[in-house]
Chains A and B, each alone.
Chain A
Amino acid sequence: MPLNLADAIPDTSSPEREFLWTLNFGPQHPATHTTLRLILTLDGEVVVHAIPDIGFLHSGFEKLGEHLDFNQYVTIVDRMNYISPVSNEISWHHAVEKLLDIDLTPRCKYIRTIFAELMRIHDHLVCCGAAALDLGAFTAFLYAFNLREKINDISEVASGQRFHPSYTRVGGLLCDVDDVWITKVRAFIKLFYAAYADLMKLLQRNRIFVDRTRGVGVLTKEEAINRSATGPIARASGVTRDLRKDQPYLAYKDFDFKVVCSTEGDCYARFLVRMEEMVQSIKIITQAIENIPSGPINIDVNSKFVVPNQMSVYRSIEGLIQHFELHMTNRQWETPKEEIYAATESPNGELGFYIVSDGSGVAYRARTRPPSFIHFSLFPHLIVGHQISDIPAVLGSINIIAAELDR
């Protein structure tokens, strides 16, 4: 059993392997975007062996999850995958709500669905834009980031924060959305198609982009299944799994959309799957935004799961008691002493939470199933046999978010 990193690096000193050389890639390198390190063994420019060395951003999120209550931990969760923050919040509260057996109000379900899909577009825009940037297509990146800004504005209108909205709460949302928000989402739908067409025109048939991504980093269907790939990466390899269809959570069963798949499994297929998923997402948003039900966003206060609004805290004794109960650290939620695994389809793949509950309002164990972590373990397999210049293409196509990778 090798005990440390030095033991794992292949020995290149023996005469029959002396043509190999070792290159340290990162932890600070523009093409890695975030802090991750690769130790590459190269034959000329061809990668023969790659060892990812991760953990530079490890900050003990899962340990914190054992000390913060269900509503507090949401602020940590949306810092995991910071390019689709609301997806993480929805996933976390999806697990908590399953543990508490909460059925959300229709309005809350619709708003959460719209947010989840906006975040999917946000994530895919950043991913495709940054992947193109690494391959030299700077313009595409700017077009993608311009559109992404609009989604940040939508988050700001809803929650007051652009980047880390912390918008969901147990059994509901932080606050209701208003007409300005709905107008902004409608405006975004109009803007999207134009920007999407620009992005496709810049990349889809771009000779350099296609040459550098097609046939690079091929993941077969068998390998994708065996190595636990989920989300767009698995779907680009022909695995037709999508939690939105398999276990329809939130309001997904009300909408008409397709699961986007490809059979190629290379970087170009992953790019195309992401681009087409954005179109499906905008289809869901278009259907949802015109049909948002009226009514409350939080479930009934009598269920003792949601924080009552300010008016009932100040004007009624029940509201005051409920507010006190949920905010005192020795009281809070009463949870069943059980364990639950619940997952949602985050932009990057299956984002799951496994909660072990000891009956209190703080998880005894809050395990995250991070898609980035699992997808990065594919990387050494994908890159072997390719050239060193293919590393940015493969890294960009599997969309590694280091904060989620290291947690």
Chain B
Amino acid sequence: MSFADIKEKLTAKFEKLNLEFSSFRDNDRVIVPPTDLFEILSYLKTTFCFDMLIDLSAADYLHLQGATHRYGVWYALLNVENGERLIVKTHLDDPDPRLPSMYDLWKGADWMEREVYDMYGIEFDGHPDLRRILLPDEFVAFPLRKDYPLRGMGERHNFQSVIRSES
């Protein structure tokens, strides 16, 4: 099933949604609205047998010239049977960026969604265990957002350390 077939079938099935298709080098992409993300991904999984979620991550487009939305989240899919790939992308905005969790479709989404939540603060509805994964629980900022400075906001400097005489 080539990208042209996927394009044709997806446009026919979701004609109201105005999906954007594009290709760059060997990457085939489709940009979908976040409200219909779960429906489209489950359709892709069942119809085109994209049974592996290779990658799930996000970017913050705050300072990118010409960007229309704050966040982008991409799902890189792989059909294990024939090695075909597709990138599904969706855009989100402040305040309260949230998406449906893909844990029900691919269990591999578990930690990847937690990492996106940890780094960008995008919440995934329906995720069974959504908490910070790389950063400590008491961390409040989302460090991969573009408004977070490279050298941090003093977390290390202000970290409460316990010294022997006080313990």
Contact = CB atoms under 8 A, between A and B. Distances in A.
A80 to B, nearest CB: 14
A225 B136 contact: no
B25 A8 contact: no
Interface stretch (B5-13, B36-44, B52-60, B157-165): B52-60
A342 B85 CA distance: 11
A236 to B, nearest CB: 15
Nearest to B64: A358
Given A2-B129, A225-B51, A358-B65, A377 B57 contact: no
A228 B52 contact: yes
Contact of A3 (B57, B80, B119, B131): B131
B14 interface: no
Give the interface size class of chain B: 35 or more
B144 A62 contact: yes
Given A225-B51, A338-B24, A367-B57, A54 B144 contact: no
Contact of B51 (A101, A226, A350): A226
A374 B83 contact: no
A58 B80 contact: no
Interface residues of A, number: 53
Given A63-B150, A226-B108, A98 B25 contact: yes
Contacts of A227: 106-108
If over half of B's interface residues share one DSSP class (helix, strand or loop), that class is named, otherwise mixed; here it is loop
A225 B131 contact: no
A246 B52 CA distance: 15
A4 to B, nearest CB: 4
Contacts of B108: 226-229, 374, 377
A214 interface: no
B70 to A, nearest CB: 13
Contacts of B17: none
A341 B55 contact: yes
A373 interface: yes
Contacts of B129: 2, 8
Contact of A55 (B25, B26, B112, B136): B136
A364 interface: yes
Nearest to B85: A341
Interface string B66-96: 1000001010101010010001000000000
Contacts of A55: 132-136
A317 interface: no
Nearest to A246: B83
Interface string A91-130: 0000000110100000000000000000000000000000
Contacts of B132: 4, 55
A365 interface: yes
A376 B131 CA distance: 17
Given A3-B137, A228-B106, A374-B112, A341 B27 contact: yes
B130 interface: yes
A191 to B, nearest CB: 35
Q: Determine which residue in B54, B106, B108 has the highest number of CB atoms from chain A within 10 A of its CB, and name it.
A: B108
A373 B111 contact: yes
Nearest to A223: B107
Contacts of B131: 1-5, 7-8
Q: Determine which residue in A227, A230, A352 has the highest number of CB atoms from chain B within 10 A of its CB, and name it.
A: A227
B150 A350 contact: no
Q: Determine which residue in A7, A54, A225, A369 has the highest number of CB atoms from chain B within 10 A of its CB, and name it.
A: A225
B83 A337 contact: no
Given A55-B133, A340-B25, A352-B54, A63 B143 contact: yes
